[in-house]
Amino acid sequence: MSLSTVYKIIGGSWTYSIVAFGTHLLLTYRLPLCGAEILKIYCDNWSIVRLSCIDTTSNNVFGLFNLSTFVLLALVLIMFSYIEILRVCARSSQAVIAKALQTCTPQLITTINLATGAIFYIFLYRYIPTIVPYGFHIFMSLQFLVVSPILNAFVYGLKMILQSFHLKRITGNTLNMKKSGIIQ
């Protein structure tokens, strides 16, 4: 990939993000607020839109469009990439497949965690917030801030423990070989 292509991709993603955020901001700014209770610990755009007294169809349509392009498109591209990686590795040796799975598994776990939060946000929080207990709302609103780092630490920590075990086993074997005079 050429440097100019990279610049175009980066510029396009920044431009799209700025336009999407600006449009959300303008659509939300025009709304009169009739309430003050937010179901989350932090304030986000949809929480403010829900407090409005007037019709918020334009906010809802634009919000769902943005959410689908940001999250769903990203998930589709990530899954396509993983499928391509595994398809290429399937033609290789078992060691290559194992290495690909070892590399992709933590990322896949994190992606599934992101998708779970996004699905909750799209369906339950936007459309039927009253059937889910308030505590679960709080947990799911914080899950990407709390669960993701803990999950990453666990997955990568487990990976480091396994690497440490293998390193100790290798160096232990090397030390035993030195003691027995096999290597000098």
Report pLDDT digits (tens) over 58-90: 888 888 888 778 777 888 888 888 888 888 888
Residue 18 banded pLDDT, cuts 50, 70, 90: very high
Please tell me which of 9-13, 81-85, 152-156 the model is most confident about, judged by mean pLDDT: 9-13
Distance CA 15, CA 51 (A): 29
35 domain residue, yes or no: no
Report pLDDT digits (tens) over 84-112: 888 888 888 888 888 887 778 877 887 88
155 domain residue, yes or no: yes
43 domain residue, yes or no: no
172 domain residue, yes or no: yes
Distance CA 46, CA 44 (A): 6
Distance CA 10, CA 71 (A): 17
5 domain residue, yes or no: no
168 domain residue, yes or no: yes
More confident position, 92 or 158: 92
Distance CA 32, CA 65 (A): 23
53 domain residue, yes or no: no
Domain count across the chain: 1
The stretches of 40-133 forming alpha helices (DSSP H) are: 45-49, 57-67, 73-90, 94-119, 126-127
33 domain residue, yes or no: no
For residue 134 the two structure tokens come to 């308030």
The one-letter code for the residue type at 51 is: L
Query: What pTM did the predictor assign?
Result: 0.59
- Owning domain of residue 91: 60-180
**Neighbour tally for 141: CB within 10 Å:** 21
